[in-house]
Amino acid sequence: MPGLLLKDFPPELHRRLKEEAARHHRSMTRQALALLEQALTTPAKNAAELLPDPLKPAKPVKSGDVVAVIRKSRDSDKAPLAR
């Protein structure tokens, strides 16, 4: 069976993993595997999914779109925004 060696494991993270393992009556290895499996089987969230509903964009926003909106606003004939 393949193995995994983690170097420079942060002490705080080690402590938290040890506590979680004890809470679930698992070894640290089994707890780490359970957490990895959970993280890798849970669908990744789009950044927009993390926002509350009123703030979600109607469509995914690309960095180029943001730049275009800023340029359009800056270059428009409208009065500058109040500061």
pLDDT 10s digits, 51-67: 777 766 677 777 788 88
Residue 28 has pLDDT above 60, yes or no: yes
Return the higher-pLDDT residue of 20 and 57: 20
- Are the C-beta atoms of 56 and 48 separated by less than 8 Å? yes
H or E, element range at 20 = helix 11-23
pLDDT over threshold 70, residue 44: yes
User: What does the alpha-carbon distance between residue 9 and residue 7 come to, in Å, rounded to a whole number?
Assistant: 5
pLDDT at 82: 56
- Give this prediction's pTM: 0.52
